Amino acid sequence: MDKWKTLEKKEITRGKIFRYYDVKRQSPDSGDIGNFDVLSFAHWVNIIAITPEGQYVFVEQYRCGTDRVTLEIPGGAIDSGEDPLVAAKRELREETGFTCEELIHLGTVEPNPAFQTNYCHTYLAKDVKRTENQDLDPYEEITIHELSENEVREKLMSGEVNHALVVAAFFYYDNYLKN
Amino acid sequence: MDKWKTLEKKEITRGKIFRYYDVKRQSPDSGDIGNFDVLSFAHWVNIIAITPEGQYVFVEQYRCGTDRVTLEIPGGAIDSGEDPLVAAKRELREETGFTCEELIHLGTVEPNPAFQTNYCHTYLAKDVKRTENQDLDPYEEITIHELSENEVREKLMSGEVNHALVVAAFFYYDNYLKN
């Protein structure tokens, strides 16, 4: 199957975290022409961070989309031109104050290829230590939790932790543990 | 941690698959007031469908966000007022022509609680059979693939299958298999 041909791309508006385009494309198979929503985002990173004691570092924060407080792994947007691994170390440090020597790339997902342009890279940070204070962005209010392996598993299966990018991160982590 | 208070909600524009709002909210902790992007979507379903021969039903289609052809499990939007389980059976049937008696709920994720309002429910469909023809929406062009267990695992780990909602679905599926 071949990809569709882009005939027109028009910026509709800019949000605070995306640019919204209307894109006219044509199927090479059927010849059909349609207009589609495309949201251009920065690429993202997230990090499964584990202390030497085997505790997992989670962040509790209010989320505007679902209008509720969530429990997630640390993560955020990659700055323009920034290496994903550098971004992962930075986001971990800024959101939690935890740092580490080495990061292991676990996997990379497309958050939603249907309408989003971006990727999310997942890293594993082992033996993280709290060496700094949080350095939060405007409107970021984050409470840090250190959860045991059992607590993480229970919250993933009960749905208390249910961010798709976090669940996907643990898919890769479980496969990393198998090898 | 308490959720933020909504002070104003203004519709900026309507896309084809979402409504885009600018929402002004106030933190109960700091008193900070900020404006945030919120995209209201229909809720979604996706389905891990397996034939009596143990083959997994995947759909190949062009995706406008990342501008490439992807390999995913079947899925789609829940119609207004539709039961998620009914939507899952319908999307499986429409996209692939495969049907089944029973669906098992594996898990429910928030695709992105930071700015999206919706949920995605994942189901397992065992012993699916191709009893009907595809019944595709406008601009849907889908090629069906039946993949072996080994092929699915190889494509998940190589990144050929990398839609976050599909990867998350397999996290729940692997945990279902453990129990």
ipTM of the complex: 0.98
DSSP 8-state assignment for residue A159? T
Q: Does A173 touch chain B if contact means CB atoms closer than 8 Å? A: no
Contact B110 A175 (CB under 8 A): no
Q: Does B136 touch chain A if contact means CB atoms closer than 8 Å? A: no
Contact B110 A65 (CB under 8 A): yes
Contact B110 A39 (CB under 8 A): no
Closest CA to A17 of B54, B40, B22: B22
* Positive or negative torsion for Cα A56, B158, A85, B108: negative
* DSSP assignments along B80-91, one per residue: TT--HHHHHHHH
- Give the E-state strand segments of chain B in sequence order: 5-14, 19-26, 33-40, 44-50, 56-63, 68-72, 75-77, 98-99, 103-109, 120-126, 129-130, 143-147
Task: For residue A64, give the nearest of B38, B143, B175 by CB distance.
Answer: B38
Residue of B nearest to A9 (CA): B64
What integer best gives the mean pLDDT of chain A?
97
Per-residue pLDDT tens digits for A129-148: 999 999 999 999 999 999 99
Contact B65 A112 (CB under 8 A): yes
Q: Does A58 touch chain B if contact means CB atoms closer than 8 Å? A: no
Query: How many CB atoms are located within 10 Å of the residue B69 CB?
Result: 16
Contact B110 A174 (CB under 8 A): no
Whole-prediction pTM: 0.98
Per-residue pLDDT tens digits for B23-42: 999 999 999 999 999 999 99
Domains of chain B: 5-40 (no CATH), 44-178 (3.90.79.10)
Task: For residue B164, give the nearest of A6, A66, A164 by CB distance.
Answer: A164
* DSSP assignments along A40-102, one per residue: E---EEEEEEE-TTS-EEEEEEEETTTTEEEEE--EEEPPTT--HHHHHHHHHHHHHSEE-S-
Contact A110 B65 (CB under 8 A): yes
Q: What is the pLDDT of residue A8?
A: 98
Closest CA to B94 of B37, B160, B140, B42: B140
Q: Does B66 touch chain A if contact means CB atoms closer than 8 Å? A: yes
Per-residue pLDDT tens digits for A24-68: 999 999 999 999 999 999 999 999 999 999 999 999 999 999 999
Is the CB of residue B33 less than 8 Å from the CB of residue A138? Answer: no
